[in-house]
Structure 1
Amino acid sequence: MRYWLFKSEPSTWSWDQQVAKGDAGEEWDGVRNYQARNFMREMAVGDRGFFYHSQKEKSVVGIVEVCAEAHQDSTTDDDRWECVDIKAVAPINTPVTLDMIKADPRLADMVLVKNSRLSVQPVTEEEWTIILTLGGFQS
């Protein structure tokens, strides 16, 4: 299993909207960045990810799971753009803010810290565990 982070502006697509989609999940569509698209091409069903609210909140608010591998993004006819489907798994007990992540030296090399604009990004297993702990999950 691999780990990822999916960023969304809550005014565009929020954690609550993701949860409302249930087990069917939803396409992570509209991504128009080649690096982010390529990361989605690497994903497998069952991979886990953090759902991150950008803009004002700037925090990890939930855990999602990839429920469909990369396929044509239904919001465009341009075959360069693909997306995965994700479903909500669980909320983060205590949202983990970007400030908390930046303040933790163990997370200094995290893609979110180094390239905060990338909307889909990998998370290492160690980063995953640290953020879960910061968010109130027991290991």
Structure 2
Amino acid sequence: MGLQWVILSYVVAAEAAVALFLTLPSPSIIKSRIVSLVSLILQPALGIVPFAGFQLMDIYWKQEHRLMCTSETCTAAERDRYEKSIYKAQRNAILCLAACLLYWFVHRICNYYKELQRLEEVEKRRKNL
């Protein structure tokens, strides 16, 4: 059960590194190659969005069907286990949302640079005329 969260955390870390790498200043030749490489990776990486969505639905279902431990009959160990499960669910929900949000950031950054390259080429053609 924990393997899916490990995979999701590695994906979030990789997406954050790619987003950081794309936003660092670099020469235009290197930047265009990086953007083209990341754009090729984005299509297969889209699978992370439904995976994270499914995990969010799983978290929601477990939250709705979790046994409550709020009465006085609960022991301290049961209350600690309940609170720990709540914290883990919150952490995992943030991880799922971060995966989707970072994927969207990387996608938008790549589209921005592609549009910028296209506009620069149009400008060069207009100067040559």
TM-score class normalised by the smaller sequence: under 0.3
Q: State the TM-score, normalizing by the size of structure 2.
A: 0.21
Structure with the bigger RCO (C-alpha within 8 Å, sep 6+) is: 2
Relative to its length, the structure with more helix (as a share) is 2
Relative to its length, the structure with more strand (as a share) is 1
Query: Could you say which structure has the larger radius of gyration?
Result: 2
